[in-house]
Structure 1
Amino acid sequence: MDPTAAAGSEKMDVYGLMFNRPNGGVPQESKLATYMGTASTSQVLNKGIASLSLDNLSMKKVLGNEFVPNSASAGNFTYSGITANAESPAAKSYNPEYAGEPSASMLNSTSQRLARHRETPPLDALGDAQNMSMTSTYQNVGGTTYFYPTSGTGSSTPTRADSSPMVMPNFHAYPGTPSHLTKAPSASSPNRATQPTQQPSMSSTSHTTHLTNSLGSYYLLEEFRLELLNRNALVLAQPNGPAYPDLPAEIDNYHELCSLEPVAGANQKTSQVISYQTSTLKATHTKSGARFCLRRVHGFRLANLKCMANMDSWKRIQHSNIVQIKEVFTTKAFNDNSIVFVYDYHPGAETLMSKHFSASDQANGFPDPFNGDHNVARPYSHTKNALLRQHASLLPEPLIWSYVIQLTSALRTIHNAGLAYRCLHPSKVILTDGNVPRLRLSFCGIADVVMFDATANVSMATVHQQEDLLALGRLVLALACKSMLAVKRENIQTSLELVSRSYSSDLRNLIVYLLSNSTRRSVSDLMPMIGARFYTQLDATQQRCDLLENEVSKEIENGRLVRLLTKLGIINERPELNMDQTWSENGDRYMLKLFRDYVFHQVSEDGKPWIDMAHIVSCLNKLDAGTDEQICLMSRDEQSVLVVTYAELKHCLEQSFDEIVQAANAFS
């Protein structure tokens, strides 16, 4: 026999004995041997050693039933010193996909690697072409056995054979807040309405703050969560039948009618835009289940179908600042002749009137001349002084310009379609998305039907468009003075003086241009007056989009962690399996039990529970990915310590869960 071959066989024998210990790889003198109840592998070891050869050094396979990280379910690890020829049982089960040299299809593109992240070994994230040369060592200290893998060079860092400049992961996890969002302006700043929300700071050292910041970093911000929950609650709200007995159970194709404002009564005033009473309802479509907003015009009889000519044009308008109209129908379900306009429903919206103006818009006790009793005394001097005293609570100019940009954008779309809004009033402009205000024009198309004039010609559309611009000037002036009294004819000059002292000349020139009737105006003519402020609005909108995308990315993989926790909950502390009452305390299940304590039962130095969401989420992500990072698991009596990798824990988890599934299918 060749001495070199004999020496090689002896060397292989030593490595085989090292890697194929009884009791699942745990030495007999270790206290962990009582927990690792796997079958003996001596027969398989002898058979494998007999077939060892040095003919093929490129194929590495560990023999026996012992779990090692190069198994198909654990990762792409190989151990040096053990080879098998083509005729050996190990070579017959050899899979070339996990060899040291990758196939061409595995290196075609990173997209193919990501597509295989659920089927390939979890440690394939380290590269498809990987050749690690590792040995396993252990140390017995005072009756406690520590064992861990090390490389042949004494380092646990894998040797990378892939020449690619980067290696794509085969798992998904939230990578953290992007750097361009870490310095977002504070939500409590004066210009909060036009700025994105600031992320929580991670620099605090207190335990309470650390817990709060960890939650904000890994999960949806509480501000967004509460806003979405509030919207969902409004969408799912059910009608209060005893409070509103006059509401019908169903009209046309809609049911579950809920009033969004007090139901019109005998003393209800008419709309501030049209000469009819109106009411707003939320309803559910019978066929689709979607929620819509219904605008009902009381006591209107549709006498001429020509007034519906513009409805098709209104339905085709889709704009981010316009509430789209869906359909129009008449009904007698309210015991009168009513016409109902169906719009998209935006839960939680409020009008500009309720947001920035008081209910009665009183000036130091004197009511609004538009809505109050004209017989009530309202001295001119007192009204003028009241307007001047509004200076301390005026709206910030960036917010007003944001409103102007959104309103002009909506009017431009309407006018380009050959239509006119005709309802530009604070009570008809709704405000959504409180952090970055989004204006939407509601009540669209109602004036074209209710105030239809059969004798009017086509040129009346141009007249109505000019009236829209005049109404826009009044609205901007009222917002700048924060009072509806400002648009009264005798108060115009005083209001403009207040605007001149409080805001820039550009805003004053815009208002003067809109209020003038001497020239024919166009929405496009307002663009030079807006100027570079348009870019500020665009930047704020895009920052808001980045922030929302970041928040969505936190939640996109939460279902994956829930599935992982479900598997752990099914395995841990299971009373029995297949009549074995100690199943959950032996073998792989014991490692998972110690891992459960490591993740969820951490304590501080003084014995207090340590709740660290960052630690929990990080450990679960590493377990799902099956990384090669080592952790130290300790039993509750501190007599057993086990150093394992997340790849080994993932193998234990999958194997234990498969046993439960097989047992469940056997009795089904």
Structure 2
Amino acid sequence: MAASRYNSNDLRRQVGSPRSKGRDTKDTLCRNVVIYGHCRYMDTTCNFNHDQNKPVSGPSDFLSKKSFNADSPSFTPSGQNLGQAKKTTLSSQAANAAPFTPRGVTASTQQNADLTMFNPAGAREFTPSGNTQNYELGNSNMGNGAAQDNGVFSDPFAMNSMAPALANNAPFNPYAGDPSAVSGAGAGFYSSGGAYASVPMQQPNYHLYQPYDAYRGELQPWQRSTYDYFIPAAMREEIQKKMFATQHTMPGLPKLENYHSLFSLDTSHRKNTACFGYHSWVYKAQKVTTGLHYVLRRLEGYRLSNDQSVMSVMRDWKNVRHENIVSFHETFTSQNFGDSSLIFVYDWHPLAKTLAEQHFSSPLGNNRQRYPAVPEGILWSYVCQIASALYYLHNKNLAARCLDLSKILVTEKSRIRLGSCAILDVVQYDHNRPIQELQGEDLVKFGKVILCLATGMPPNLLQSSNTKAALDSLVKYSRSLRDALQFLLSPVAPNGQPHTIAHFLTMIAPQLVQQANNTLRENDEQQYWLAREIENGRIARNVMKLSVILERGDLGSQSNWSEVGDRFQLKLFRDYVFHRVDASGKPDLGLGHMLSCMSKLDAGVDEQIMLTSRDNETVFVITYRELRGMFERAFNELMKFSKSPGL
């Protein structure tokens, strides 16, 4: 050892480090043996070890020969005596000392800690368990190892605390206003969802082309985005919601003779007899013969005593077609609901709301409060549309009779339609009231509807108040609107002549002109977006035709038809349009390039493009006009072998 070279009495006087000896090369394996398997100088000048089976000295043997090791004398400051310095050195018996045990940890914990060390001999082979319950969430007995006990380690993925909550999930109802309340009082109106009741129904994706944020204003005029090629996102979302609402169904409702897939449209389960004198319910249904969707209004407990009333109403109302009236189709009786019901069939307008739901809806259901007044521009739109519908009906010697906030529908932004027409003509057929009297009531009801919207008061509050006082409170509206309401609420003119809808239209003629201008402006906007979608439709048609040509295989007596002749160049054109990559080899998904190329193919322009095969051995320089001819010839050849009419 290095320390044995010096006398123990001279340790304090030792200043420099002891001189190390040279390294012995006899125990070092020769590199020639490691690399080449033998050494040509083994018997001559090479002093290294050439026996691979001989154990090589490890790092511990090498370090033991160094001058600095555990037995070297420790540094002792001059202010301490030799006895204290000797006490700080480690003795050889320190290796046999007992291991350190923290206070408070039992022996079983130490034993478990030793078991956590990996022991290859004690590891068991993986064997799948035949009992599937070992793999359920929250099961502490795992099939391939011992369960953790003593509570020392906690499993972060254990779901024992969440199991009761998952087991008590109520069936999801996508049509309930508050899904959390479905399991309560409203659960009785919806049937069980079966084995998949706990899985929420996936709502449709209304943002197929919707960008993540608004239109980026920093885009240059020559730059385009996906948003620019399609109709506005709000318009597309509204149309898709209407299409989705058309497919709604509700199990548990009966199937009628000519209608099926009924779906309840009532937003309240409270029965009301104020309008018709009978409890009424509204359903959406699909007709068996045509597959079209209609609205069925059912009068509960009505017994038809006079067949002539139904025949007369159908003769008068079946041909009524107006843009502001929900079209009536037929009426019939049914026993499928468990009682005698009279059902009226109307056109289906998805996602339509009544004026009461649009302007007098309260989350607390309080009908005794006042609501914000409707702006004058919207009021004039309602006035002009209702007046147009009444003028059409009165000229046909008919009356609407159901002018109520709960029966007038809002189908678009400000588009309204008179609903539930012809019902009172059947229910009150025996009253034999003059048509002039019924038309006069239409004007009064018309004025009350507009007055409720202008004052923000529901009909139950307006009836209990003074109508003249309500008119006097409309000081923020124009004089022309107040005069129009005064005309409608006064059924008789000062000269004793009854008011008619024709006189009313003469009074509001300036507003009718303004509404006509607004309608034409909206029509121009719709035509603009429709023109864009027509171009996209043509592109989709060409993509379908190109898809039926390529990758077809044999056709008739010609084998591998789609890979030879003109079809091969069409295949290269398909790769040019849809399979482009950038300089780094990543897919190029630029929508503008795809739409531009398909539009040029449809037009057959003279622009030249270069088509390259995937192995870069075949190159074509061709125009879109030539590709258009190949495209048409290939598709016409397919049609000769097809019995279908084609695209």
Once residues 586 and 218 of structure 2 are traced to their aligned partners in structure 1, the CA distance between those partners, rounded to angstroms, is 20
Once residues 331 and 599 of structure 1 are traced to their aligned partners in structure 2, the CA distance between those partners, rounded to angstroms, is 58
- Are residues 1:261 and 2:266 paired? yes
- Could you tell me which amino acid in structure 1 is paired with residue 318 of structure 2? K
With over 3 angstroms needed to count, the CA separation of the structure-2 counterparts of 1:497 and 1:607, relative to structure 1, is farther
Structure-2 residue corresponding to 1:282: 284
Instruction: Name which one, 1 or 2, has greater alpha-carbon Rg.
Output: 2
With over 3 angstroms needed to count, the CA separation of the structure-2 counterparts of 1:317 and 1:361, relative to structure 1, is farther
Shift of 1:403: 0.6
Shift of 1:555: 3.9
Identify which of 458, 470, 474 aligns with 1:484.
458
Shift of 1:283: 2.4
SS of the aligned residue for 1:398 comes to helix
With over 3 angstroms needed to count, the CA separation of the structure-2 counterparts of 1:624 and 1:426, relative to structure 1, is same
Cα offsets for 1:175-223 (capped at 9, x unmatched)? xxxxxxxxxxxxxxxxxxxxxxxxx98975279993233332xxx4444
Aligned residues: 423
Residues 501-516 of structure 1 aligned to structure 2 (within 5 Å): 501=476, 503-516=477-490
The TM-score, its normalising length taken from structure 2, stands at 0.57
With over 3 angstroms needed to count, the CA separation of the structure-2 counterparts of 1:475 and 1:620, relative to structure 1, is same
Shift of 1:516: 2.5
Once residues 518 and 480 of structure 2 are traced to their aligned partners in structure 1, the CA distance between those partners, rounded to angstroms, is 21
Q: Given that residues 202 and 213 in structure 1 are in contact (C-alpha distance below 8 angstroms), is that contact kept between their aligned partners in structure 2?
A: no
The TM-score, its normalising length taken from structure 1, stands at 0.55
Once residues 639 and 338 of structure 2 are traced to their aligned partners in structure 1, the CA distance between those partners, rounded to angstroms, is 62
- Could you tell me which amino acid in structure 2 is paired with residue 259 of structure 1? S
With over 3 angstroms needed to count, the CA separation of the structure-2 counterparts of 1:607 and 1:579, relative to structure 1, is same
Aligned-residue RMSD, C-alpha: 3.8
With over 3 angstroms needed to count, the CA separation of the structure-2 counterparts of 1:316 and 1:615, relative to structure 1, is same
- Could you tell me which amino acid in structure 2 is paired with residue 228 of structure 1? I
Structure-1 residue corresponding to 2:320: 317
Structure-2 residue corresponding to 1:337: 340
Once residues 631 and 414 of structure 1 are traced to their aligned partners in structure 2, the CA distance between those partners, rounded to angstroms, is 62
Q: Given that residues 250 and 256 in structure 1 are in contact (C-alpha distance below 8 angstroms), is that contact kept between their aligned partners in structure 2?
A: no
Identify which of 289, 297, 300 aligns with 1:298.
300
- Are residues 1:226 and 2:200 paired? no
Q: Given that residues 293 and 342 in structure 1 are in contact (C-alpha distance below 8 angstroms), is that contact kept between their aligned partners in structure 2?
A: yes
Q: Given that residues 334 and 342 in structure 2 are in contact (C-alpha distance below 8 angstroms), is that contact kept between their aligned partners in structure 1?
A: yes
- Could you tell me which amino acid in structure 1 is paired with residue 255 of structure 2? A
- Could you tell me which amino acid in structure 2 is paired with residue 440 of structure 1? R
- Could you tell me which amino acid in structure 1 is paired with residue 289 of structure 2? K
Residues 462-611 of structure 1 aligned to structure 2 (within 5 Å): 462-484=436-458, 487-490=462-465, 492-493=467-468, 495-501=470-476, 503-519=477-493, 520-556=498-534, 560-566=538-544, 568-569=546-547, 584=563, 591-602=569-580, 609-611=587-589
Shift of 1:543: 2.8
Once residues 549 and 308 of structure 2 are traced to their aligned partners in structure 1, the CA distance between those partners, rounded to angstroms, is 71
Cα offsets for 1:46-78 (capped at 9, x unmatched)? xxxxxxxxxxxxxxxxxxxxxxxxxxxxxxxxx
- Are residues 1:401 and 2:380 paired? yes
Shift of 1:571: 6.1
SS of the aligned residue for 1:358 comes to coil
Structure-1 residue corresponding to 2:228: 214
Once residues 578 and 234 of structure 2 are traced to their aligned partners in structure 1, the CA distance between those partners, rounded to angstroms, is 27
Q: Given that residues 361 and 484 in structure 1 are in contact (C-alpha distance below 8 angstroms), is that contact kept between their aligned partners in structure 2?
A: no
With over 3 angstroms needed to count, the CA separation of the structure-2 counterparts of 1:609 and 1:206, relative to structure 1, is farther
Structure-2 residue corresponding to 1:192: none
- Are residues 1:446 and 2:423 paired? yes
With over 3 angstroms needed to count, the CA separation of the structure-2 counterparts of 1:237 and 1:209, relative to structure 1, is farther
Shift of 1:500: 1.4
Structure-2 residue corresponding to 1:615: 593
Shift of 1:599: 2.1
Q: Given that residues 295 and 348 in structure 2 are in contact (C-alpha distance below 8 angstroms), is that contact kept between their aligned partners in structure 1?
A: yes
Cα offsets for 1:552-610 (capped at 9, x unmatched)? 434446565345434544666788999988984x8756644543343234456777654
Once residues 207 and 601 of structure 1 are traced to their aligned partners in structure 2, the CA distance between those partners, rounded to angstroms, is 27
With over 3 angstroms needed to count, the CA separation of the structure-2 counterparts of 1:552 and 1:357, relative to structure 1, is same
- Could you tell me which amino acid in structure 2 is paired with residue 368 of structure 1? N
Shift of 1:498: 4.1
With over 3 angstroms needed to count, the CA separation of the structure-2 counterparts of 1:498 and 1:606, relative to structure 1, is farther
Q: Given that residues 274 and 451 in structure 1 are in contact (C-alpha distance below 8 angstroms), is that contact kept between their aligned partners in structure 2?
A: no
With over 3 angstroms needed to count, the CA separation of the structure-2 counterparts of 1:504 and 1:607, relative to structure 1, is farther
- Could you tell me which amino acid in structure 2 is paired with residue 446 of structure 1? I
- Could you tell me which amino acid in structure 2 is paired with residue 254 of structure 1? Y
Once residues 664 and 255 of structure 1 are traced to their aligned partners in structure 2, the CA distance between those partners, rounded to angstroms, is 36
Once residues 505 and 433 of structure 1 are traced to their aligned partners in structure 2, the CA distance between those partners, rounded to angstroms, is 28
Shift of 1:629: 1.3
Structure-2 residue corresponding to 1:328: 331
Shift of 1:615: 2.5
Residues 405-424 of structure 1 aligned to structure 2 (within 5 Å): 405-424=384-403
Residues 50-61 of structure 1 aligned to structure 2 (within 5 Å): none
Once residues 332 and 642 of structure 1 are traced to their aligned partners in structure 2, the CA distance between those partners, rounded to angstroms, is 72
Identical-residue share of aligned pairs (%): 37
Q: Given that residues 510 and 529 in structure 1 are in contact (C-alpha distance below 8 angstroms), is that contact kept between their aligned partners in structure 2?
A: yes
Shift of 1:360: 7.7
Shift of 1:406: 0.6
Q: Given that residues 281 and 298 in structure 2 are in contact (C-alpha distance below 8 angstroms), is that contact kept between their aligned partners in structure 1?
A: yes
Once residues 463 and 363 of structure 2 are traced to their aligned partners in structure 1, the CA distance between those partners, rounded to angstroms, is 15
- Could you tell me which amino acid in structure 1 is paired with residue 277 of structure 2? S
Residues 194-205 of structure 1 aligned to structure 2 (within 5 Å): 205=219
- Could you tell me which amino acid in structure 1 is paired with residue 287 of structure 2? H
- Could you tell me which amino acid in structure 2 is paired with residue 476 of structure 1? I
Cα offsets for 1:451-504 (capped at 9, x unmatched)? 3444x453xx22222221111111111112233166234254554344212x21
Q: Given that residues 321 and 440 in structure 1 are in contact (C-alpha distance below 8 angstroms), is that contact kept between their aligned partners in structure 2?
A: yes
Cα offsets for 1:411-470 (capped at 9, x unmatched)? 112222222222111100011123xx321111111112223444x453xx2222222111
Q: Which runs of 5+ in 2 are unaligned?
A: 1-213
SS of the aligned residue for 1:611 comes to coil
Q: Given that residues 589 and 656 in structure 1 are in contact (C-alpha distance below 8 angstroms), is that contact kept between their aligned partners in structure 2?
A: yes
Q: Given that residues 399 and 442 in structure 2 are in contact (C-alpha distance below 8 angstroms), is that contact kept between their aligned partners in structure 1?
A: yes
Structure-2 residue corresponding to 1:368: 367
Once residues 469 and 364 of structure 2 are traced to their aligned partners in structure 1, the CA distance between those partners, rounded to angstroms, is 17
With over 3 angstroms needed to count, the CA separation of the structure-2 counterparts of 1:574 and 1:406, relative to structure 1, is closer
SS of the aligned residue for 1:524 comes to helix
Once residues 606 and 491 of structure 1 are traced to their aligned partners in structure 2, the CA distance between those partners, rounded to angstroms, is 78
- Could you tell me which amino acid in structure 2 is paired with residue 237 of structure 1? H
Q: Given that residues 263 and 279 in structure 1 are in contact (C-alpha distance below 8 angstroms), is that contact kept between their aligned partners in structure 2?
A: no
- Could you tell me which amino acid in structure 1 is paired with residue 292 of structure 2? A
Q: Given that residues 627 and 645 in structure 1 are in contact (C-alpha distance below 8 angstroms), is that contact kept between their aligned partners in structure 2?
A: yes
Residues 345-384 of structure 1 aligned to structure 2 (within 5 Å): 345-359=348-362, 367-368=366-367
